Amino acid sequence: MRYAYFPGCKIPHHLPQYGDSVRAVCRALDVELVDIEFNCCGYPVRNESEPASVFSAARNFALAERAGLGIMTPCKCCFGNLKYAASRLHESPELAGEVERLLAREGLALPQRMEVRHLLTVLDRDVGAQTLAERATLPLYGVKVACHYGCHALRPGKVTGFDDPLAPTVFERVVAALGAETVDWALRLECCGHPLRGRDEVISESIMRRKLESAAGAGAHILATACTYCQLQFDVERDRHSFNSPWRAMVPAVLVSQLVGAALGLEEKRLGLTRNRIPWSKSVLSNDVS
């Protein structure tokens, strides 16, 4: 399995442990990640200029096509915008023509098929539950996990094709293959609140707190994320704004790549677990749970 690896902009600068753990896990699972000099996915400018956003995404598809590879990204925001751009290019010949003219200036061409997969899909469909279970040298028996989906990969479902937007199961399948138990919690599909950071901190905090309380109430030991922004919200922002709050240490957030890596027996340093801001109980990931 080979993919053009698309880390996006946030991971290298704000969440390097996500990138490190993704690379470590993919290496352990025989998924080859090829580095290409991609540009931004285009999401930050979508509301300012849709053509600029779509062109930015299309250029990435063209670069991957030139390398003969499909794109894999662990960032759900990047995944969502790349899928959105592909959808717009298919439905708008005028927009596609404009993008093709711009790409031609660099000797690039708009691919007929614009393929992008999120990390979760690669783990679920390409690697598969059987391989995950077989390679889990430290299966997470007894660990209760609240899977947090985030918004960008699920919605709009007709565009992303990621999973059933109202009843997704891909995250739970991956976690279950590691031996862990997934919990059913009421707010698993709600927004994490990160988009409101810098706009309304009070509401952002309230949304995050309600989600953490929901996960804790369902008996979760940890909250698993697979989105850059969601992990920043539940880990970095929670640490920054809620140091003295009783719910600060409630249900630590762990990236799905860190969770998979822990089950595979990879070293904590390679997974970047020590970089997580909210203290997580090592006993949880070493199966010493009550």
For 47, the 3-state DSSP assignment is: coil
- Closest by Cα among 25, 268, 276, 24 to 131: 25
**Does 106 share its domain with 133?**
no
Predicted pLDDT of residue 288:
55
**Does 140 share its domain with 221?**
yes
Q: Specify if 290 maps to a domain.
A: no
Predicted pLDDT of residue 248:
82
| pLDDT confidence band for 247 (50 / 70 / 90) | confident
**Does 18 share its domain with 153?**
no
Q: Specify if 27 maps to a domain.
A: yes
Predicted pLDDT of residue 281:
57
Give the rounded percent of residues in the chain with a pLDDT score beyond 90.
91
Q: Specify if 289 maps to a domain.
A: no
| pLDDT confidence band for 184 (50 / 70 / 90) | very high
* Boundary of a domain, candidates 97, 118, 139: 118
Cβ(41)–Cβ(82) below 8 Å: yes
* Boundary of a domain, candidates 72, 92, 118: 118
- Provide the residue range defining the domain that includes 276: 129-283
For residue range 8-25, list pLDDT tens digits in order: 999 999 999 999 999 999
Q: Is the pLDDT of residue 290 over 60?
A: no
Cβ(278)–Cβ(216) below 8 Å: no
Predicted pLDDT of residue 256:
99
Q: Is the pLDDT of residue 282 over 80?
A: no
Q: Is the pLDDT of residue 182 over 90?
A: yes
pTM of the model: 0.95
CA 187 to chain centre: 18
**Does 98 share its domain with 172?**
no
User: What is the CB-side half-sphere exposure of residue 274 using CA atoms within 13 A?
Assistant: 4
Q: Specify if 154 maps to a domain.
A: yes
**Does 22 share its domain with 57?**
yes
Q: Which residue has the higher pLDDT, 290 or 59?
A: 59
**Does 87 share its domain with 149?**
no
Domain CATH number, residue 189: 3.40.50.11810
**Does 113 share its domain with 137?**
no
Locate 220 and state its tokens: 């979760």
Q: Specify if 255 maps to a domain.
A: yes
Q: How far apart are CA 285 and CA 288, in angstroms?
A: 8
**Does 114 share its domain with 134?**
no
* Boundary of a domain, candidates 62, 94, 118: 118
- Closest by Cα among 10, 110, 20, 18 to 60: 110
**Does 140 share its domain with 244?**
yes
Q: Specify if 258 maps to a domain.
A: yes
Determine the average pLDDT of the residues in 96-111.
98
Predicted pLDDT of residue 145:
98
Determine the average pLDDT of the residues in 150-178.
98
Predicted pLDDT of residue 283:
57
Q: How many domains does the chain have?
A: 2
Cβ(7)–Cβ(71) below 8 Å: no
**Does 211 share its domain with 247?**
yes
**Does 71 share its domain with 141?**
no
Domain CATH number, residue 19: 1.20.1050.140
Predicted pLDDT of residue 143:
96
**Does 60 share its domain with 111?**
yes
Amino acid in position 139:
P
Cβ(36)–Cβ(108) below 8 Å: no
Q: Specify if 288 maps to a domain.
A: no
Q: Which residues contact 153 (CB under 8 A, 6 or more apart)?
A: 76, 79, 80, 118, 120, 160, 162, 163, 226, 227
